[in-house]
Amino acid sequence: MTAMSEMMAFVRETELLVQIQSRLAWDQDTVMPRGAAEQRGEEMAALAGVLHARRTDPRLGGWLDAARPEGEVEAANVRHLKRRWLRDTRVPAELAAELARATSIGRGVWAEARENEDVAAFLPTLSRIVKLRREEGEAIADGGTTAYEALLRDYEPGATEAGVAKLFDGMRPRIVALRDRLLGAPGAPTLNGNFPEAGQLSLSRETAERFGYDLNHGRIDLSAHPFSSGSAFDVRITTRVSEDPFNCLYSTIHEVGHATYERNIRPDFAFTPLGEGVSMGVHESQSRSFENQIGRSPAFCRFLFGRMTDIFGDIGVSDADAFSRAVNRVSSGFIRTEADEVHYNLHVMLRFDLERGLVSGGIAAEDIEEAWNSRFAADFGNAVDRPSNGLLQDVHWSEGLFGYFPTYALGNVYAGCLVAAMRRELPDLDSSLEAGDPSPATEWLKRNVQIHGGLREPGDTISHATGEDPGEGPLLDYLDEKFGALYGL
């Protein structure tokens, strides 16, 4: 065997163990009994120790030195593995295991604190996780790189803290200007009806399949915070049910975007570094385009109006156009996952600035709720009324995912570029969407983005699909055009 083939056989076993780790996390967030949280934390710590040992095995370093990759695929695998090797060998095994233990337990602590509206119960856990992630960021940072930037690159390779801040600063004025114009216009209608859980889940399942979700290789469960888990041949999603049926429906469509990305990657990439989404920004470009540019398009809303009335009867709006305005209603609400497209990036910018402060030490964990509430009032004009509408709404920090939030807005930027290119190639897309068939759009994304997995770097993935370098212009143009038309501006 060559060094390349020996290395890839070893990596395949490591990637299979990662899938087991993912399944344990799925179980914890869906069906695991609460009383098992500490045991699961120990299980996750033990598995993290095994994975860390494999990822830092000296043989891997030797294979990387000796490997002579042939062709684009082997070269891409070596590129990813070298980056991971350099990162993982800088993290002490004890720190990796303790992080796994703390974040596994942290999810349960967060869920209980959120249910009880009890920030104080969560803060000691948050403080511990911030400390551990700061240590990890400092360990993996290159010269001149901040701890936060090092963590950011775990989710978006090549990104810089300054670059993301500059992007957000450039986007904010135009988004705020559009928001202010929309909030000054006559309000959009809202739904009014009876939306039983069984009907919501039935419509969500139907819509998931319309968007290409393969239930032979996946399943839909309930969780406090919707998520997608797994890759290759076992890709699962969760959703949640509330009084607002759009919450369930669009959470499902969003997670289907993630799931189909993982499921549609070339089968020969499975259990290699290329067998997963290349970055969380590109991942979010799939889920956000599924949810917003396709799922909330006026054309698809015309189809959904009929299905909603079929299932729920009178829903309080009289026609498909009013329904489309209800789906795309702009309001300065508390919840990021329920935010309209105009406000969504402002939610992300808030979290980006706050988590930078936490990791740098500029904001102490005990002060984070006050910092959150003050920033929210300044950006959205409303006072946070309860923790589940503020600091405790997102699971991410309990899982140690610092650096993850910016990728949501990067995903919106990428989605703007992708859908602009898609519509140039598919001028009749709206007629398919109005008939309830998103497949021309989802197949375009599969063909141009999803099958390639991690073959290219994030920015190159978008450029290859669109023929242009990614930028915020297409997203901002799309928002102006769509919401200007819906609100008659």
Pairing of the two strands 220-222 and 234-239: parallel
DSSP 221: E
β-partners of residue 235 are 230
Tell me phi and psi for residue 229, to 5 degrees. -145, 140
Q: Give the residue numbers marked as catalytic.
A: 255
Tell me phi and psi for residue 457, to 5 degrees. -70, 160
Tracing tokens 């099958």 back to the chain, one arrives at 451
Q: Which two tokens stand for residue 356?
A: 């930078």
What dihedral do alpha carbons 190, 192, 195, 199 form, nearest 10°?
-70
How far, CA to CA in Å, does 284 sit from each of 71, 239, 292? Answer: 29, 16, 11
Tell me phi and psi for residue 83, to 5 degrees. -65, -45
Taking phi first (over 0 means left), then psi (-120 to 50 degrees means alpha), and beta for anything else, what does residue 403 get? left
Q: Which two tokens stand for residue 258?
A: 């993630």
Q: Which two tokens stand for residue 336?
A: 């990021």
Distance between CA atoms of residues 106 and 397, nearest Å: 9
What per-residue confidence (pLDDT) applies to 322? 95
pLDDT tens-place string over residues 410-421 = 999 999 999 999
Query: Which class is domain 161-487?
Result: mainly alpha
Q: What are the per-10-residue average pLDDT scores of the chain (489 residues)? A: 96 97 93 92 93 96 97 98 96 94 93 96 98 97 93 97 96 96 89 96 98 97 91 96 94 97 98 97 98 98 98 96 96 92 97 98 98 97 96 96 97 98 98 98 98 98 97 98 93
Rg (CA), the chain: 22
Q: Taking the CB of residue 280, how many other CB atoms lie within 10 A of it?
A: 25
* Cα–Cα nearest to 232, from 192, 260, 191, 203: 260
* Cα–Cα nearest to 224, from 452, 399, 29, 23: 29
- What residue spans define the domains of the chain? 3-140, 161-487
**End-to-end C-alpha distance for the chain, whole angstroms:** 66
Half-sphere exposure of 78 (CA within 13 A, CB side): 19
The DSSP secondary structure of 93-123, one letter per residue, reads HHHHHHHHHHHHHHHHHHHHHHHHT-HHHHH
What per-residue confidence (pLDDT) applies to 276? 96
pTM: 0.94
Distance between CA atoms of residues 18 and 41, nearest Å: 16
Hey, is 230 helix, strand or coil? strand
